[in-house]
C-alpha cells in the first residue's frame, strides 16, 4: 500500500487519529506502507500505518487500495476468532487472493475470446472493472504483514502481488484496444505481459499449495 491522492502534497505524520494530532515529518505520495491497525470507533476513517520504522495515523482518503486490504484482514481475523479449526490469517489471505486472481484471469480470457465488434465498448468497461479489482488485489497483497506469515504464505503473497499487477496492466491495455478498435493497433506488449503473468502464476502455485496445505501454518 502507498500514500496517494494528495495532489502531490503528501501527508503529515500524526500521533493520533484526528486532524489536530499533527507532528513533525511527513510522507510523500508513493511512500510504501504497512498497515498496523484499521481504525474503528472514534478512529473510523483512519488507519495506523508504518514506513521505514515510523508509524502514523493516516486518513483513509489518502490510502488507495485500503478497502481490499481491510477486507482480507477482516476476513482473516474473523476466521481466527471462530476458534478451533479456523484458518490462520496468512492462509485465509492467500486463499482469497488465489481465488480472486484465478477468477480475474479467467474473465479476461473469456472476454478476449468472445469479444465482437458490437460488444467491444461494453467489454472494455468490463475489462476496466477487472483492472480495478486487480489493482485492489495488488494493494492488499503488497500491504500484507508478510513478516508474520509462514515462509510459503509470505512467498506466495509477494509473487501474487506481482501477478495481480501484471494482470491489471493486461486488462487496461485490452480495454484501450477495444475502445479504439479498429484504429488502435494491437498492443504487442500484451503478449509479453501475458507470458509474464503465466510465469508468475506458475511460480506462486507451489508456494500457495504449500501455504494452503492442512497444518501448514
- Say yes or no: domain 11-64 is CATH 2.30.30: yes
pTM above 0.85, yes or no: no
Q: Which residue has 488485489 as its cell numbers?
A: 137
pLDDT of 163-186, one tens digit each?
A: 999 999 999 999 888 888 777 787
Domain ranges of the chain: 11-64, 68-212
Q: Which residues contact 37 (CB under 8 A, 6 or more apart)?
A: 47, 48
Largest CA distance in the chain: 59
Higher per-residue pLDDT: 77 or 14:
14
Higher per-residue pLDDT: 88 or 134:
134
For the chain, counts of helices (H) and of strands (E) = 5, 5
Check residue 84 and give its pLDDT. 37
Residue 217: which of 45, 86, 54 has the closest Cα? 86
Amino acid at each position: 500500500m502507498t500514500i496517494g491522492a494528495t495532489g502531490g502534497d503528501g501527508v503529515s505524520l500524526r500521533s493520533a487519529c484526528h486532524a489536530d494530532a499533527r507532528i513533525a515529518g511527513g510522507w510523500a505520495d508513493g511512500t510504501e506502507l504497512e498497515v498496523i491497525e484499521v481504525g474503528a470507533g472514534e478512529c473510523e476513517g483512519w488507519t495506523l500505518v508504518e514506513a521505514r520504522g515510523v508509524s502514523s495515523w493516516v486518513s483513509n482518503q489518502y490510502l488507495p487500495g485500503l478497502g481490499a486490504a481491510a477486507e482480507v484482514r477482516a476476513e482473516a481475523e474473523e476466521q481466527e476468532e471462530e476458534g478451533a479449526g479456523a484458518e490462520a490469517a496468512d492462509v485465509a489471505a492467500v486463499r482469497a487472493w488465489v481465488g480472486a486472481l484465478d477468477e480475474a484471469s479467467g474473465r479476461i480470457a473469456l472476454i478476449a475470446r468472445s469479444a465482437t465488434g458490437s460488444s467491444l465498448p461494453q467489454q472494455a468497461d468490463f475489462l476496466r472493472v477487472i483492472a480495478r479489482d486487480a489493482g485492489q488485489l495488488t494493494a492488499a497483497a503488497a500491504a500484507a504483514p508478510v513478516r508474520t506469515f509462514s515462509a510459503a504464505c509470505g512467498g506466495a503473497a509477494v509473487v501474487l502481488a506481482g501477478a495481480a499487477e501484471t494482470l491489471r496492466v493486461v486488462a487496461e491495455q485490452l480495454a484501450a484496444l477495444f475502445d479504439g478498435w479498429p484504429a488502435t493497433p494491437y498492443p504487442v506488449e500484451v503478449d509479453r505481459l501475458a507470458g509474464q503473468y503465466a510465469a508468475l502464476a506458475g511460480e506462486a502455485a507451489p508456494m500457495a499449495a504449500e501455504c494452503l496445505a492442512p497444518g501448514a501454518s
